[in-house]
Homo-oligomer: A and B are copies of this chain.
């Protein structure tokens, strides 16, 4: 669980990354940056900061920040009520991100799963994304990603986000943040 203070600090820190990437946000967006710790209580290693620009019943666009070496844990977006799951394209805007997807395991992967959680990282085909590079994930594809040593800013273009339906490999994960005052 995140405290209000942790959220405020993470928002402030995320702003520095949006500035480095020259991403212009409104004051309202800045004040409402979403801070996700996935219920693991270790934001420094497992977490994600994001601004959702739009999320209708057809289209979603987000601007995400990963702090240096911060990891978005392995998950997939399943089909829901017979409709295909979320399709997403990640485009790196600043920094560097290592994305892992199904396929031949990369011999010497650059990212390391957060300590103690190694079991829940099962796909190891590495895709390195630098600014201007992007990758499109089809629905229901397991994936996880981790920023390089400088952190990363990543645009996501996708179908509707319904985070509550995401399936994480780690059973301890809770995508919807719980906040304590």
- A residues whose Cβ falls under 8 Å from a Cβ of B: 21-22, 24-26, 29, 53-54, 56, 58-61, 84, 87, 89, 91, 93-94, 131-134, 136, 155, 157-159
Contact = CB atoms under 8 A, between A and B. Distances in A.
5 contacts: A53-B157, A54-B157, A59-B59, A61-B157, A157-B157
Copies held by the complex: 2
Given A132-B26, A133-B26, A159 B54 contact: no
A56 B136 contact: yes
Contacts of A158: 59
A58 B29 contact: no
A179 B89 CA distance: 31
